Amino acid sequence: MRARPPGIDDEEVVATVASHWGIHATNVGYVPEGGGSYHWRIVAADDDTVFVSVDNLDAKPWLGEDRDATFDGLAAAFSTAARLREAGREFVVAPIPSSSGRLLERLSSRYSLAVFPYVDGRAGKWGERMPAHTVTEFARHLARLHASTPAVRDSAVRRRLGIPGRGQLDAALDAIGEPWTHGPLAEPARLALAQRATEVREWLAHYATLAESVRTRDTPWVVTHGEPHPGNTIETPGGLVLIDWDTVALAPRERDLWMFEDRAPEALAAYLEVAGVELDPAAMELYRLAWTLTDLAAFASVLRSPHDVDADSEKALSAFCSYLT
């Protein structure tokens, strides 16, 4: 996130890391990157460096319906990532356990905090074109990930086929006939949605049809990352690693593959060569549409909540409108 989380300062983050992880900072800096979490880089007294992630428990609807359920869901996701790492999947960047053995601690009623190893390398960016050798390595990592399902099948969450935050999008569609007064960017968002409301409702209806088709097919579910795009990768001297495992879950493998079909078909071919499977076209279309609808719901939630104009709210409006043009 570009803007800092309201009500959280560096001192509180440093104190929590020291209290629960025994890591005492000599240098701390906020890292204004990422789209769903807040980050700090902390250098400890022994010159070790860690990466701290703080999550808003009000903003992850795929994990739970309230703060406590979301905290538990995030802890479960991180536990799955840790088990994958323990199973030999070295490309998984998993959290560091606290002194009590937990992978996630409460920073406040609204925020959670996790500590990760600092990965020295080049972080990818959303939408960038990766070199051919890198995207092929990425696809092969996903094939290995999906093959790791037996190691986590009894603990990983099974992701439902619904749209996370769907209620926020439905509420926005129901309210397009009157001004939105939640903040300075609310009304431009309403006008953009009003112009495409019919199409968005058609997308939702088509999604329901696709979901029913996928639900009734005898397709094996595997452990998936959920958001395997360049922005969740880091190129290191030892190879490509995957970060941001808050979306990890059991689901059809197409959840991780539709984006490769659109952006890097040669990588999809590499995946299919390694995995030896066939893909379900309906599931590919389902997850392609799910990405759009989930983002629309998330940005509608931001723009229909009280907000100021800052880098994050401006990004939300820009992305929201981009889906509607």
pLDDT tens-digit map of 229-239: 999 999 999 99
pLDDT at 264: 83
- Specify burial of residue 17 (Cβ count, 10 A radius: 0-12, 13-18, 19+): buried
Model confidence over 153-174: pLDDT tens digits? 998 999 999 999 999 999 999 9
Question: How many CB atoms neighbour CB 244 within 10 A?
Answer: 23
* Segment 241-265, tens digit of pLDDT: 999 999 999 999 999 999 988 778 8
pLDDT of 13 over the 80 cut: yes
For 179-219, what is each residue's pLDDT tens digit? 999 999 999 999 999 999 999 999 999 999 999 999 998 88
Supply the pTM of this predicted model: 0.93
pLDDT of residue 133: 86
Average pLDDT over residues 73-89: 97
Within 8 A by CB and 6+ apart from 241, the residues are 90, 91, 92, 93, 119, 121, 233, 234
Long-range contacts of 190-197 (CB under 8 A, 24+ apart): 192/320, 192/321, 192/324, 192/325, 193/300, 193/320, 193/324, 195/324, 196/324, 197/173
Band (pLDDT 50/70/90 cuts) for residue 220 is: confident
Residues in the chain, total: 325
Listed in order, the ranges of the chain carrying CATH 3.30.200.20 are 1-118
Residue 1: pLDDT band with limits 50, 70, 90: low
In whole numbers, what is the pLDDT of the chain averaged over residues?
94
pLDDT at 181: 95
Q: What is the number of other CB atoms lying within 10 angstroms of the CB of residue 194?
A: 15
CATH of domain 1-118: 3.30.200.20
Q: What does DSSP say about strands 111-117 and 105-106: parallel, antiparallel, or unpaired?
A: antiparallel
CA torsion angle for 275, 278, 282, 284 (degrees, to 10)? 30
Q: What is the mean pLDDT of residues 267-293?
A: 94
Alpha-carbon gap, residue 144 to 141, rounded angstroms: 5
Q: For position 142, what pLDDT does the model report?
A: 96
- Residue 94 predicted with pLDDT over 90: yes
Q: CB atoms < 10 A from the CB of 102, how many?
A: 15
Question: How would residue 6 be classed by pLDDT, with cut points 50, 70 and 90?
Answer: confident
Q: Would you call 196 helix, strand, or coil by DSSP?
A: coil
Q: How far is CA 120 from CA 36, 49, 93, 248, in A?
A: 21, 10, 12, 23
Does residue 130 surpass a pLDDT of 70?
yes
Alpha carbon distance 271, 283 (integer Å): 16
Give the mean pLDDT of 130-138. Answer: 88
Q: Is the pLDDT of residue 297 over 70?
A: yes
For the four alpha carbons of 253, 166, 296 and 209, in that order, the dihedral sign comes to positive
Helical (H) or strand (E) element with 63: none
pLDDT at 128 > cutoff 90: no
Asked whether the predicted pLDDT for residue 2 surpasses 80, the reply is: no
- Name the phi and psi angles at 192, rounded to 5: -65, -40
Using pLDDT thresholds of 50, 70 and 90, give the confidence band for residue 126: confident
Which class in CATH covers the domain with range 122-325? alpha beta
